[in-house]
Amino acid sequence: TQLLEQSPQFLSIQEGENLTVYCNSSSVFSSLQWYRQEPGEGPVLLVTVVTGGEVKKLKRLTFQFGDARKDSSLHITAAQPGDTGLYLCAVNAGNMLTFGGGTRLMVKP
């Protein structure tokens, strides 16, 4: 069983649509990070959420940390082809960064 379960695993949508991806766990975390990995590149940090219930916005991306700090969501408004990539959530487990399996998003023009 993975520490972090991400869903869906794959998502293919048309440009302009909205979407939400999820990161869930049965454990409580002090904070959680989201990364995006584009094809042929390493993951890039998008955001760190720290407080239960916290909402952070990054242009068309909205990140939420669950009230109980066990889960998080990422909502993208009006998706664009440039949003295509692998979205990874990660937490500090044993003082190391541990990742979920990721959601692979494809946005078609």
Partner 1 sequence: ETGVTQTPRHLVMGMTNKKSLKCEQHLGHNAMYWYKQSAKKPLELMFVYSLEERVENNSVPSRFSPECPNSSHLFLHLHTLQPEDSALYLCASSQDGWNYGYTFGSGTRLTVV
Residues at the interface with partner 1 (CB under 8 A): 2, 4, 31, 33, 35, 40-45, 48, 88, 92, 95-102
Nearest distance from residue 72's CB to partner 1, in Å?
15
CB neighbours of 11 closer than 8 A, spacing ≥ 6? 19, 21, 103, 104, 105, 106
Q: Which one, 79 or 99, has the nearer CB to partner 1?
A: 99
Q: Which one, 14 or 95, has the nearer CB to partner 1?
A: 95
CB 50 within 8 A of CB 105: no
Could you tell me the two tokens for 9? Answer: 């695993």
- How far is residue 89 CA from its own chain's centroid? 5
Nearest distance from residue 98's CB to partner 1, in Å?
7
Nearest distance from residue 108's CB to partner 1, in Å?
22
